[in-house]
Amino acid sequence: MGFEISRVSCLLVALLVIAGCASDDDPASDAGHAGAGGDSGAGGGSDTDATTGEECFEELTAPAIGFVEIQRFVSEDGDLSVWRARQPGERSAVGETSPYDLVRVWIDSADEDGTCVTEASALTYTFGHHNWSESWTVTTAHAMYAVHEMYNNGPADPEEWGFVDTLEAKDESGDVLFTAELVEDGCESRPYDLNPCFTRMRIDMPPPGWGEE
């Protein structure tokens, strides 16, 4: 009886070893694979390559109630382009502050060949009072990018009021790769809505019949 039990135990151990080796060779078990939903590169979620921002954002739709706002930026030297999409979320907010969530980012530069990031695990968003001090991050396989959108209403002349947008890129060790001053390159919303793009340069127009009774 003892011999039979030992033989069965050895057989079970052998089967477990074989199964373990098979799972190690399974590509789907690779946590760094973008399609597997695991972390990639510098610690973010999956990202894909898109030739243009239009391709990255073409399938983006608004939630059932609300809108999605798309803001485009370029660096002052023109070497970097960044698009971000945000939409009102369900977090608590006070007064005239929208609890935005970041839902998509597209980056194009010498290091990011049209990188489109859609995974929530790679995107963060922190909103401020009146949405005048917004901070958000996007992590790709190359770097973590932190953007700050600060509305400056300090000058005495209201004509000089507006957003000051900055970007800082860091590697996976937290060392700063570079910083950039951003210039807004157009804002739009889906569907068209008056609430998004506040004090921004709108590039979309109301659809025919919009606002009519």
- Write out pLDDT tens, residues 55-108: 999 999 999 989 999 999 999 999 999 999 999 999 998 888 999 999 999 999
Q: What would the pLDDT profile of 120-148 be if each residue is shown by its tens digit?
A: 999 999 999 999 999 999 999 999 999 99
Domain membership of residue 180 (yes or no) is yes
Residue in this structure with the two tokens 């790679």, named with its chain if needed: 122
CA angle (188, 194, 200) in 5-degree steps: 50
Domain membership of residue 70 (yes or no) is yes
Q: What percent of the chain has pLDDT over 70?
A: 77
**Of the candidates 54, 60, 56, the residue with the CA atom closest to the CA atom of residue 86:** 60
The pLDDT of residue 47 is: 75
- Report how many helices (DSSP H) and strands (DSSP E) the chain contains, helices first: 2, 10
| Separation CA 18–CA 23 (nearest Å) | 9
Write down the pTM of the prediction: 0.77
Per DSSP, the three-state class of 12 is helix
The pLDDT of residue 26 is: 35
Q: What would the pLDDT profile of 31-45 be if each residue is shown by its tens digit?
A: 222 222 333 334 444
| Separation CA 105–CA 44 (nearest Å) | 13
Q: How many domains does the chain have?
A: 1
Of the listed ranges 23-27, 86-90, 115-119, the one predicted with least confidence = 23-27
> How is residue 116 written in tokens?
């489109």
Domain membership of residue 130 (yes or no) is yes
Per DSSP, the three-state class of 9 is helix
Domain that holds residue 53: 44-190
pLDDT score of 211 more than 90: no
Cross-strand bridge partners of residue 148: 135, 166
Domain membership of residue 177 (yes or no) is yes
Domain membership of residue 30 (yes or no) is no
Cα 206 from chain centre: 27
Domain membership of residue 65 (yes or no) is yes
pLDDT score of 29 more than 90: no
Domain membership of residue 141 (yes or no) is yes
